[in-house]
Chains A and B, each alone.
Chain A
Amino acid sequence: MGGLLGASRNPHDIASGVAAAAAGDRAAFGDLYQRYARMVHGILLAAVPPQEAEDLVQDVFTIALDRLGELREPGAFGPWLAAIARNRGADHHRHARETLELPPDLEAPPDASRAEVQHLLGVVRSMPEAYRETLILRFVEGMTGPEIAERTGLAPDSVRVNLHRGVKLLRQRLGLGAP
């Protein structure tokens, strides 16, 4: 799964890509989209219903493109984009009806059902805010802990603590036995 997101790149590479995108290089923007779309989706999914998270991904990237020139440190693109996504999710949440309905085109894995996806997602989305986003990025979007830290700009130790505690609480809520 991690391969979908590409290997880690250093902040200089990100900064170069952001500068090129800000100058109008759409291929550079395409690279940024590819790299960060799942992070944005995961953050949104922690705040808004599943049906709407995907729609808002486009909004977040459009907002980001519009404001790229305001980004003072291009190397901090990930944290900056994450903040836009959180704000967009919070803003949308205030006006939206909360529902756990899944997108109509969502296909469950071969040995699971839509109901199981919906149930598990509901449990994760009901977790305390401190754990919710990290758990979604890890188990829905398929990012590893180090990838989450690298893309969102959060301290690796913070991600690790939130993920560890979040997984522990998730097991409890699901009635699972492993430590």
Chain B
Amino acid sequence: MSEYWWDRSGRDAELERIEQVLSAAALAPAPLLAPTRRRRPGRRAWVAAAALLAALAAGWALHRHRAAPSLQLYPLAGAPTLEGTSLAGRATWHPGQALETGPDSRVKVLIGSRGEVDLEPGSRLRLVRADRSTQRLFLDRGTLRAFILAPPRHFFIDTPSATAVDLGCAYALSVDAQGGGWLRVAFGWVSFENDEREVYVPAGAACALHGGRGPGTPFFEDATAAFRAALDALDRGEPAGALDTLLAQARPQDAFSLLQLLPRLDTAERPRVCEGLTQLVAPPAGVDCAAILRSDPQALGRYWSALGLGEMKWWRLGGDLPAPPNRP
């Protein structure tokens, strides 16, 4: 007797027909496609680590040689527009076109197999570039949520004040009319940068965007309110009393904020902050404040790894390796 209904063994024309028809409603081929081979971070041996890195690099290289992803727009609610024309159904998005949502409309952007972006109400998003190696959007205003599993540094979102560079993650980005806003990362990492500053924002952390001045210093969202206020004051160039508060309120997990704040401080203040930093998280042997303060790349890399935020090398593959977080 056929058990097609259970495990497809035998034949059952009626159920085969039902299955064939209903398969049209199945989840479309996964829009979030990671590199295809199985891999896991090596934990015990350099050989395993090297094999992992090689596998990842190969996987990402394969991504690079795929055809350019097609960007598809799906209206989710309301009446969004594409180049001023109402977007009634699925459409292909081409470079140069602007997508806008009104107060009640939302749009989903599927970026081939590399990820997706939801554009929230009251937003304007332009497609700047879409080829096989780079997808670049420009968020003029509003809020988006991105969920990207593309190779690091292939997906960019520009804003009037900084660029969010995807390092493999889920995040939300918002921009107001003055070019200010915020970035919140749910998973993975984002590099948030402009011509003058580059910060790294891990999962659970956020970063302010200051109109005309670029990204602030990232912080974990569960940091104390006093810590966050002090960090904001320092970012705004109002250091009076803020440094004392910052060092008093910092927890070990806030070390990544202090490390990325260092280059912004006056030279005279840096040794004090570095001392506080290394009291929060002890540097590995051979790394000290002298090396950190002179931005020794090796020392910075080792200290960064000691912060326990995951292996930065996972996110740094793909060719354009980002510099250490407080590159001068």
Identify the A interface with B (CB < 8 A).
1-2, 16-17, 20, 23-31, 33-34, 37-38, 41-42, 45, 50, 54-55, 57-58, 61-62, 65-66, 102-109, 112, 116-117, 120-121, 124, 138-142, 144-146, 160, 163-164, 167, 170-171, 174, 176-178
Of the stretches B4-12, B94-102, B246-254, B287-295, the one at the interface is: B4-12
Within B288-328, the residues touching A (CB, 8 Å) are 309-311, 314-315
B309 partner residues in chain A, CB cutoff 8 A: 24
B188 in the interface (beta carbon within 8 A)? yes
A177 to chain B, nearest CB (A): 8
A105 to B90 CA separation, bound complex (whole angstroms): 7
A144 close to B76 (CB less than 8 A): no
A145 to B169 CA separation, bound complex (whole angstroms): 33
A104 close to B6 (CB less than 8 A): no
Q: A24-B310, A29-B149, A120-B18 are in contact. Are A141 and B187 (CB under 8 A)?
A: no
Q: Residues of B within 8 Å of A, CB-based: how many?
A: 53
Identify the B interface with A (CB < 8 A).
5-8, 12, 14-15, 18-28, 30, 32-35, 38-41, 56, 59, 72, 74, 76, 89-90, 108, 116, 118, 147, 149, 168-170, 186-189, 202-203, 309-311, 314-315
Across the two chains, which residue of chain B brings its CB closest to A137?
B26
Nearest first, the 3 A-B pairs at minimum CB distance are A30-B34, A24-B310, A41-B27
A42 partner residues in chain B, CB cutoff 8 A: 27
A105 close to B74 (CB less than 8 A): yes
B33 close to A109 (CB less than 8 A): no
A31 to B118 CA separation, bound complex (whole angstroms): 22
A62 close to B187 (CB less than 8 A): yes
A112 close to B26 (CB less than 8 A): no
A114 to B90 CA separation, bound complex (whole angstroms): 16
B35 close to A108 (CB less than 8 A): no
B46 to chain A, nearest CB (A): 18
B147 close to A58 (CB less than 8 A): yes
A178 close to B147 (CB less than 8 A): no
